[in-house]
Structure 1
Amino acid sequence: MKILLYFLLLSCSSLAAFAQLPAIGIKGGVNFATMQASGTQANVVAGTNTIANSGMVTSFNFGVFVDVKLGHFSLQPAVNFTGKGGTFNGFTGTLPNGSVSQVSTKYNLYYVQVPVNIVYYISFVVGEFYIGAGPFVGMGVYGRKNLSADNNNNGTPTAISSSDKITFGDNGDIRSDEYGAGAVAGIKLKGGLLFNLNYDMGLSNVAPNQAGNTFKNHVFGASVGFVF
């Protein structure tokens, strides 16, 4: 990840030497996040050896970006705070009391993410339409895991739930670093107001070092912003 960050910074500095003066923008909005998981029966999230797609978690995003114009193209690095995660229902897992039951697990994950997109602009009457894509790297900074189940305790159904803070790292709940690819599209009006859509596809496995387990984040976002 350090090598990728170095390459992105070098690319930004090299291209900026030939570009117009950069513009600075801000944006924020809503995320619709899911996770794709596969794993072994020991994993609460993926109770089979097949791929499982999670339910959706609604979260948020906000960030700042720099737009370095190169004719109709621009280089657009950004720093974003973005929410990810997913919900998994009906998988076999271990409850806080040590018993095994069918559980529902909800992950709310929050990342500081650095994308660098190459964007193409098309002018029209009231502004510009744009579309672009590029890589991103991210680091998990906060998260929570909520677990719930109806446990059959000696014939008596008992509702059990827990909410725990996510620990990030190779020996934690979720790996702290992530990388992937993203796409953006939107409209920027002449006054600076913009309406943006984005899709981020995680390419790295964010599951910790557990044999056979894989988690990957997917996020669709919509935001409103302003370019100064």
Structure 2
Amino acid sequence: MKRKLLTIAAALCFIAGVKAQTSYGIKAGVNFPKLSVTQKETSGSISSGASTNFYVTGFVDAPIASNLSIQPGLSLQGKGSKSKDEVDEVKGNIMYLELPVNFVYYVPAGSGNVFLGAGPYAAYALSAKNKINGVSTDVKFGNGPDDDGVKRFDAGLNFLLGYKLSNGFLLNGGYGLGLTNIMYDNILGVKQKNRVFSVGVGYQF
């Protein structure tokens, strides 16, 4: 019984310590999204041009080991693509509500810490627009006869690199690797996956 009580007490102390060290933060910046496009008949893939969008992320930083934290968050992520030929200029924008869960490792450096992170994300598209030669139209999600064949769900991996100053100010860089085909199956066998490079700033309280 005494050993059990000591174990419970140690667990409570650990939980209290983690709770005391838990912090919160917000990040925002610029996305440079594009699409990786593959077709059944070809063995390789091509990339669209990168467009410009934005992101805003709120997150919780909970230490789980020395210099290692888990960071669940909630993010508004603008993704899309851009292409241009001799006739048409096409831009696509999709706004996602994203749930990232990253594992972040801190390395002391100077007056702050370099941080590296990675983890999965799941996302749900809130809205989408295509702009062709300056004319904007709404994208209809779904696979019906009047829809545009675009899925709302996306999932993949995030990779992070940045620097956290001792005052909590953050400099962020990241890359989002979409693993889900965001298009419904079609007779051409075309698959599209999100790719997003991002830079920004933030603050951890």
- After TM superposition, is the score higher than 0.5? yes
Kindly provide the amino acid, as one letter, of the partner of residue 65 in structure 1.
F
Mapping for residues 24-63 of structure 1, pairs under 5 Å: 24-39=24-39, 51-63=45-57
Question: Does 1:227 find its partner at 2:199?
Answer: no
Contact 1:19 1:69 in 2 (8 A): no
- Structure 2 vs 1, CA of residues 115 and 197 (structure 1 numbering), >3 Å: closer, same or farther? same
Deviations 1:36-67 (A, max 9, x none): 12348xxxxxxx95633111101000010000
Kindly provide the amino acid, as one letter, of the partner of residue 20 in structure 1.
V
Question: Does 1:167 find its partner at 2:140?
Answer: yes
Question: Does 1:214 find its partner at 2:196?
Answer: no
Contact 1:141 1:168 in 2 (8 A): no
Shift of 1:125: 2.7
Deviations 1:60-101 (A, max 9, x none): 00010000012210001111101111112349xxxxxxxxxx
Mapping for residues 97-116 of structure 1, pairs under 5 Å: 103-116=88-101
Alignment partners' CA distance in 1, 2:95 and 2:15: 34
The runs of 4+ residues in structure 1 deviating greater than 6 Å are none
Alignment partners' CA distance in 1, 2:16 and 2:46: 46
Alignment partners' CA distance in 1, 2:174 and 2:17: 25
Alignment partners' CA distance in 2, 1:19 and 1:35: 43
Alignment partners' CA distance in 2, 1:25 and 1:54: 33
SS at match of 1:20: helix
Deviations 1:141-195 (A, max 9, x none): 11110123xxxxxxxxxxxx63211122344332000000110011111111111
Shift of 1:215: 0.8
- Structure 2 vs 1, CA of residues 89 and 51 (structure 1 numbering), >3 Å: closer, same or farther? farther
Alignment partners' CA distance in 1, 2:185 and 2:107: 45
Compute the RMSD of aligned alpha carbons.
2.2
How many residue pairs get aligned? The number is 184
Q: Which residue, 56, 69, 74 being the options, matches 1:79?
A: 74
Shift of 1:17: 4.7
Contact 1:34 1:57 in 2 (8 A): yes
SS at match of 2:132: strand
Structure 1 unaligned regions, length at least 5: 1-15, 41-47, 92-101, 149-160
Q: Which residue, 154, 160, 165 being the options, matches 1:189?
A: 165
Kindly provide the amino acid, as one letter, of the partner of residue 67 in structure 1.
D
In terms of mean alpha carbon deviation, does 218-227 or 202-211 score higher? 202-211
Kindly provide the amino acid, as one letter, of the partner of residue 227 in structure 1.
Q
Q: Which residue, 55, 63, 68 being the options, matches 2:62?
A: 68
Alignment partners' CA distance in 1, 2:83 and 2:38: 12
